[in-house]
Chain A
């Protein structure tokens, strides 16, 4: 059974595939990147690497994460490291993954980033795909 990391984003319980997670850290000072894609909170240094910090709430189309939130999941996508901000991290467990129920989602962003769901003591948790949360470049409007 695959291993998942249980986290909480904006009150929603989510899990990440442990294979996508490089490490879990509290990030240091963040340097802003003016005029980049809105979900890019900035850059931070971690073990002499520059890491792009992603405001996961904004990537999901929600209100921005509070600026004091420091806890993040580090993931590596296409050779770049990203720190995905989360409100809280709980545990690591193995689950059976289930497909998403076919219900028209109110807000498409959640389900677009989700791969399926797992059940923890009967409580459903979304399986978020970190690769889908990584911001993509947008054309700059001059």
Chain B
């Protein structure tokens, strides 16, 4: 908390310094919109930070100023000199209070209310005498300092020079017979230089965790203030990011998360009525993707109401009616990035007026990044921020081709294999070559001949995975791994599309970082499934393999590998309980989800997701929830049979008894579930019933529902399905109604479900059937 407070003080000081010229300019021209926006942003940021740092006095001051400025932005107030004076008095006071906090001195607050009152009274009354500036208390000695990034850059570059000079010195000295004392001194120098280099590098790099660590507290406080239940999940905290990037990302991230809690996540009661879990989920993920860092902020709230955004844009004169009418839904969505626009009609003290998003985009674009929205009305919003890895340290593999060296990002590399022996075969297929690695066929790209720097057959294959597929990059040798600082190369070099940047490693010779995706594209590699399909006969294992895993109850169990289709993560929303059975929603279909004990599953789901084994016998599919997959083991031939339900038997593995699960029991169980007598009844109602009977009935029946067209049957339906327009006039009955709409974009009614959105429909039905009166 102390760190956060120091950070806040430092930031406020900085902004105030930067703002002082804006303030002067605004005094001269009160009508200047850009100045108004800059000052508005300042008070807005102060307000946001104080709410979260528990500084009620500053919050009060900034909130009052923000209200007035917002009125001025909306054209409800004329920004006259009186208003300017009153706002500036507040800005001055904020500065004084912040200095007071820094020096641990209480600044007299008796006339705060007068300052606030001056804001609202300016129109009728002459301005009260501008409050005398409070004498700034001497600043307390800071425990940390803020450095200019330029200075860090210079330090970094000086450091690299030092490394090069040391290398040169070592080379020169080793030409002669070396005095042991000189050698010892040189070694000492090398150690010190290496140590210094690490330290200097670290001054620029920060774990992104530094950015994320403030989030849990912020989410908790913001959610509490708004009476919402939100759980936050953070992934990828150990991604390294340039310090400057982290600083630039801090405000945008805070704004986005506040917006998500305030505007996105619904209240618990509303969520329950929508069939969502009462606790909203926000997931923040960071990962490195090629030469970009991706930060994803995902919430499962209401998403953005595109229609309201468009209406607001017209209302605020951001766009004309004709302009909005000509916009695609995606363009309308982008209006949220316009200054002075909010989808909310009420103003809250948390995220306010949607002011954040224009600032957010400006900050991100400033560092060469991009921001993208994936809006799912009624189901949530995913905001993806992409910032370049420029200046980031990257872990690379150094490969040699002919007499040149190249770096490849380690995360793109799946495997390195030597071309010799039985494991690897290279066959020419027409004018391309195909590498077969342990039965897996991959298109091959010989780097030397492709770059026209070497002939000869490559001796080593680096299996590289790209977005489109995997391929084998043929190189002469794999030398080393190295952490390098990657910078963009000149346009003429980047323009070739083959390189992701350049770096200067310890050798002192520049090195290029290969862009694995770009290489594949330039070489015209095709990743057709039939070429790279696995050669099954070769891949077959002779022994009796099984997957060892941690079960939900903490025990270690194994299951024969042959039954496993895949291992994947399932979100808590994809798990539904109905009629005492647990089912998993996968791609619009459901399958039985088996697990050890309900309590253990509940615990796992409370974390938002659970790992599942997808099992198949070729016809039936089912899933088994586990704690985590461990490894593939070979079962001994001797298995002591057991008679205990799903346990096939007990095997001894590494001196411990291990329960082997019997997948057949799960499949047997799965068949029963689908024909069970408890299948809920769906009433296909209204004018769309005939359409539903033809198109939806097969889907519904496949998911264990029965359908009827007759509203007067002897059995009360568990749920009614109607088209949106019928539902308005329908006579209410006991059964909950699921409304379907014809258009993909739910402008009129975000709670309805697009009629071809099978997974949403099944999820909604499962939600209702579970709560249904049975």
Size class of the contact patch on chain B: 20 to 34
Residues of B within 8 A of A31 (CB): 404, 509-512
Q: How far is the CB of A80 from chain B (nearest CB, A)?
A: 4
Q: Judge if A45 is at the interface, Cβ distance under 8 Å.
A: yes
Chain A 25-48 per-residue mask, 1 if CB under 8 angstroms from chain B, else 0: 000010111111101100111011
Residues of A within 8 A of B160 (CB): 48
Q: Which of A68-96 contact B (CB under 8 A)?
A: 78, 80, 82
B interface majority secondary structure: mixed
Q: Which of A43-73 contact B (CB under 8 A)?
A: 43-45, 47-50, 52
Contact at B522–A140, with CB atoms within 8 Å? yes
Given A35-B452, A43-B510, A45-B509; A140-B492 close (CB under 8 Å): no
Residue of A nearest to B492 (CB): A135
Contact at A44–B510, with CB atoms within 8 Å? yes
User: Of the 9-residue stretches B88-96, B377-385, B495-503, which lies at the interface with chain A?
Assistant: B495-503
Contact of A36 among B157, B161, B487, B496 (CB under 8 A): B496
Q: How far is the CB of B617 from chain A (nearest CB, A)?
A: 45
Q: Judge if A121 is at the interface, Cβ distance under 8 Å.
A: no
User: Which of the listed residues B158, B160, B451, B509 has the most CB atoms from chain A within 10 Å of its own CB?
Assistant: B509
Residue of A nearest to B451 (CB): A34
Residues of B within 8 A of A48 (CB): 157-158, 160-161, 164, 504
Residues of B within 8 A of A44 (CB): 510
Chain A 121-142 per-residue mask, 1 if CB under 8 angstroms from chain B, else 0: 0000000000000111111101
Q: Judge if B494 is at the interface, Cβ distance under 8 Å.
A: yes
Q: How far is the CB of B218 from chain A (nearest CB, A)?
A: 36
Q: Give Cα distance in the complex from A114 to B585, angstroms.
A: 68
Q: Give Cα distance in the complex from A139 to B497, angstroms.
A: 8
Contact at A32–B492, with CB atoms within 8 Å? no
Q: Judge if B416 is at the interface, Cβ distance under 8 Å.
A: no
Q: Judge if B28 is at the interface, Cβ distance under 8 Å.
A: no
Contact of B503 among A33, A50, A137 (CB under 8 A): A50
Q: Give Cα distance in the complex from A130 to B297, angstroms.
A: 45
Contact at B504–A45, with CB atoms within 8 Å? yes
Contact at B492–A52, with CB atoms within 8 Å? yes
Residues of A within 8 A of B521 (CB): 142
Residue of A nearest to B156 (CB): A48
Contact at B495–A37, with CB atoms within 8 Å? yes
Contact at B452–A142, with CB atoms within 8 Å? no
Contact at A82–B490, with CB atoms within 8 Å? yes
Residue of A nearest to B503 (CB): A50
Q: Judge if B493 is at the interface, Cβ distance under 8 Å.
A: yes
Q: Judge if B491 is at the interface, Cβ distance under 8 Å.
A: yes
Chain B 501-539 per-residue mask, 1 if CB under 8 angstroms from chain A, else 0: 011100011111000000001111000000000000000
Q: How far is the CB of A73 from chain B (nearest CB, A)?
A: 16
Q: Give Cα distance in the complex from A47 to B451, angstroms.
A: 28
Residues of A within 8 A of B503 (CB): 50
Contact at A43–B491, with CB atoms within 8 Å? no
Residues of B within 8 A of A82 (CB): 490
Contact at A137–B495, with CB atoms within 8 Å? yes
Q: Judge if B479 is at the interface, Cβ distance under 8 Å.
A: no
Residues of A within 8 A of B453 (CB): 32, 34
Residues of A within 8 A of B314 (CB): none
Q: How far is the CB of A134 from chain B (nearest CB, A)?
A: 8
Residue of B nearest to A81 (CB): B490
Given A34-B452, A140-B496, A142-B524; A52-B511 close (CB under 8 Å): no
Residues of B within 8 A of A136 (CB): 491-492, 495
Contact at B510–A137, with CB atoms within 8 Å? no
Residues of B within 8 A of A134 (CB): 490, 492
Residue of A nearest to B158 (CB): A48
Contact at B161–A47, with CB atoms within 8 Å? yes
Q: How far is the CB of A132 from chain B (nearest CB, A)?
A: 13
Contact at B495–A45, with CB atoms within 8 Å? no
Contact at A142–B508, with CB atoms within 8 Å? no
Q: Which of B145-199 contact A (CB under 8 A)?
A: 157-158, 160-161, 164
Q: Which of B656-697 contact A (CB under 8 A)?
A: none
User: What are 29 A-B residue pairs whose CB atoms fall within 8 Å in the complex?
Assistant: A29-B509, A31-B509, A32-B453, A33-B493, A34-B452, A34-B453, A35-B451, A35-B496, A35-B522, A36-B496, A37-B492, A37-B496, A43-B493, A43-B510, A43-B512, A44-B510, A47-B161, A48-B504, A49-B157, A50-B502, A50-B503, A52-B493, A134-B492, A137-B494, A137-B496, A139-B495, A140-B495, A140-B496, A140-B522
Closest 7 CB pairs of A and B: A137-B495, A48-B160, A34-B451, A135-B492, A43-B510, A52-B490, A37-B492
Q: List residues of B whose CB falls within 8 A of some A CB.
A: 157-158, 160-161, 164, 404, 451-453, 487, 489-499, 502-504, 508-512, 521-524
- Please name 18 further chain A to chain B contacts, defined as beta carbons within 8 Å, in addition to the given A44-B510, A50-B503, A142-B524, sorted by A numbering: A29-B509, A31-B404, A31-B511, A32-B453, A33-B499, A34-B453, A35-B522, A36-B493, A37-B492, A40-B492, A45-B504, A45-B510, A52-B492, A52-B493, A135-B490, A140-B497, A140-B522, A142-B523
